[in-house]
Homo-oligomer: A and B are copies of this chain.
Amino acid sequence: MQRSDYLSLFEAGKARFVESWKEYVRIPSISSDPAYAPDCQRGAEWMRAYLERMGLKAQVFPSSGQPLVFAERAGDATLPTLLFYGHYDVQPADPLAEWTNPPFEPEVRDGRLYGRGALDNKGQTMAFLAGLETVLQAGTFSAPLKVIIEGEEESGSSGLFDSLQTEEWRKRLRADVLLVDDSEAYAPGIPAITMGLRGIIHLSVKLFGANFDLHSGLHGGIAPNPAMALARLLATIHNPDGSIAVKGFCDTITPLDEETRRLLRSAPFDQEKYEADFGIKALGGERGFTPEERLAFRPTIEVNGIHSGHGGPGQKTIIPAKAEAKITSRIVAGQDPVRSLALIEEHLRAHAPEGLRLVIDEKGGVHRALAVNPHSGLLKRAARVLEAAYQHKPVYLWCPGSIPIVVSLVEALGAEPLLVGFGLPEDRMHAPDESFSLVQFRDGFLYACLMLEELSLCKA
């Protein structure tokens, strides 16, 4: 079917689609706060029922965390099996006073639905599922389909992570294509395909000195200072040119190929806008790489926080007893997260100051980067579909952030990922007055219809 056919079906179903979307948003399924556990359960049950009404076989499974919703539908076994991933949980809604309507009493104003989760991920999920319902009713979709809607994306995905450790769940979720609808478009009217995600690892570095804060006069000149020593230790992590000085850290990074460079040019970094938006010059990272390259294809080691000694108003003449820094590193294609963490730790131990006790802990994350194959047929088909839906060629985005569960799904299932989303910066994701416009909802619907139909045509 054509874009215009699906558009007519959208107009016909719109009131019903929006009603369901609002129902879903009304459930305060905040996963990070145990007080909302019953609402998470309710969110899962609501989604199960919704998927069932659509004709899928749907179940709610308990997990080590919030329940998981799984649904499936058999299809033409010669076609690739699709797995759609989404999450029913949402961010906390505070500060409540900054919302125009209460966050869990969704309201349409000026063509936008406002509410917590209106975009992330309830809006995007409901747009996709409205498309799925439409192609199912129109008979234009025939591939085998699975749906996994988890309930802890906003708080670490531990239930799904743990489930993926079991053969049972890996078998249950087995698929050829992983469809994720949790990212952003490039701009209103300009679609985007997310080509990569950086991986992440984190750790904490602590230096301990005396048993208590020492008088900086009486001990200054004999007691090593953990705050100063930590500053010196952190200063060894980068070279003067901004590159990472950790030995071996960058050795295995996958080099950029020509196709990647070509796709990278589709979304040039706007330095002026960046500096105006954030009030900071884009001078971070390594010399010798463009901002686009630094964001997508170069790793980082960032201090997220450093704390030691006195911090209030006025002076306190002490040599602090300890100092601590929190560190996260973003890694890129070709870097093994476990090895990367070990190399950082090795570096810190090799440069540790004399006379102080070094403790490296809170080690974790260890999630690999995601790299979509720029030569993939799936990618080319998605690009054609997006151009048909939007009547504008997509741009290719590399997300410098990390979505560890997506990477784990890809790794555990061996599926090829396709990350297409319709969010925009003005949607205020995670903030008060989160919203998703009906136009974006329709964009997501159109993409789902055309892509699901496309994936029913042939295997390649």
**A235 and B224 in contact, given A217-B330, A308-B306, A354-B281 (Cβ under 8 angstroms):** no
Contact check, A304 vs B284: say whether CB atoms are below 8 A apart. Answer: no
Contact residues in B for A105 (Cβ distance below 8 Å)? none
Q: Is the CB of A303 within 8 A of B231?
A: yes
Q: Which of A55-63, A85-93, A321-329 lies on the face that meets chain B? A: A321-329
The answer to whether the Cβ of A9 comes within 8 Å of any Cβ in the partner chain is: no
Contacts of A158 in B (CB 8 A): none
Contacting residue for A230 out of B211, B231, B238, B283, CB 8 A? B231
Query: Is A309 part of the binding interface, using a Cβ–Cβ cutoff of 8 Å?
Result: yes
Closest 5 CB pairs of A and B: A217-B401, A305-B309, A305-B310, A283-B355, A221-B294
B306 in contact with A219 (CB, 8 Å): no
Inter-chain contact A330/B228, CB cutoff 8 Å: no
Asked if A279 is an interface residue, CB under 8 A from chain B, the answer is yes
In the complex, what distance in Å separates the CA atom of A305 from the CA atom of B231?
Answer: 11
Closest Cβ–Cβ distance, residue A156 to chain B (whole Å): 10
Please, which residue of chain B has its CB at the minimum distance from the CB of A197?
Answer: B217
Shortest distance between the CB of A105 and any CB in chain B (Å): 28
Q: Which residues of B contact A295 (CB under 8 A)?
A: 220-222
User: Could you pull out 9 A-B pairs where Cβ atoms are within 8 angstroms?
Assistant: A198-B217, A222-B274, A225-B284, A227-B305, A231-B234, A304-B309, A304-B319, A305-B308, A315-B362
Interface hits, A177-228 → B, CB 8 Å: 198, 200, 202, 209-211, 214-225, 227-228
**A77 part of interface (Cβ distance < 8 Å):** no
Assess A215 versus B401: contact at CB under 8 Å? Given A221-B284, A235-B232.
yes
Beyond the given pairs A219-B284, A222-B294, A223-B284, 13 more chain A to chain B contacts, judged by CB atoms under 8 angstroms and listed by A's residue number, are A209-B280, A211-B278, A220-B284, A220-B300, A221-B400, A224-B281, A231-B235, A232-B234, A235-B235, A302-B319, A303-B308, A303-B320, A317-B328
Beta-carbon contacts under 8 Å, A210-261 to B: 210-211, 214-225, 227-228, 230-232, 234-235, 237-238
Interface residue from B209, B216, B281, B400 paired with A304 (Cβ < 8 Å): B216
Q: Given A234-B231, A302-B228 in contact, is the A214-B278 Cβ separation under 8 Å?
A: yes
A298 in the interface, Cβ–Cβ < 8 Å?
A: yes
Whether A96 sits at the interface, judged by CB under 8 Å, is no
In the bound assembly, the distance between CA atoms of A306 and B207 in angstroms comes to: 13
A305 and B294 in contact (CB under 8 A), knowing A222-B274, A278-B214? no
CA A175 to CA B307, docked complex, whole Å = 47
Whether the Cβ atoms of A291 and B326 lie closer than 8 Å is no
Q: A218-B401, A278-B210, A278-B223 are in contact. Are A307 and B304 (CB under 8 A)?
A: no
Q: Once bound together, how far apart are the Cα atoms of A445 and B281, in whole Å?
A: 66
Q: Are B306 and A318 in contact (CB under 8 A)?
A: no
- Give the nearest-CB partner of A222 in chain B: B282
User: Nearest CB to that of A279 among chain B residues?
Assistant: B211
Cα(A230)–Cα(B274), bound, Å: 23
- For residue A362, which residues in chain B have a CB less than 8 angstroms away from its CB? 314-315
Q: Is A95 an interface residue (CB 8 A)?
A: no
Report how far A281 CA is from B303 CA in the complex, Å: 28
Cβ-based interface call for A288 (8 A): no
Which listed residue, B202, B274, B309, touches A303 by the CB 8 Å rule?
A: B309
The answer to the question of A311 belonging to the interface, with a C-beta cut-off of 8 Å to chain B, is yes
Say whether A73 faces chain B, with CB atoms less than 8 Å apart.
no
Cα distance A234–B227 in the bound complex, in angstroms: 9
A198 CB to nearest B CB, Å: 6
A402 interface contact, C-beta 8 A: yes
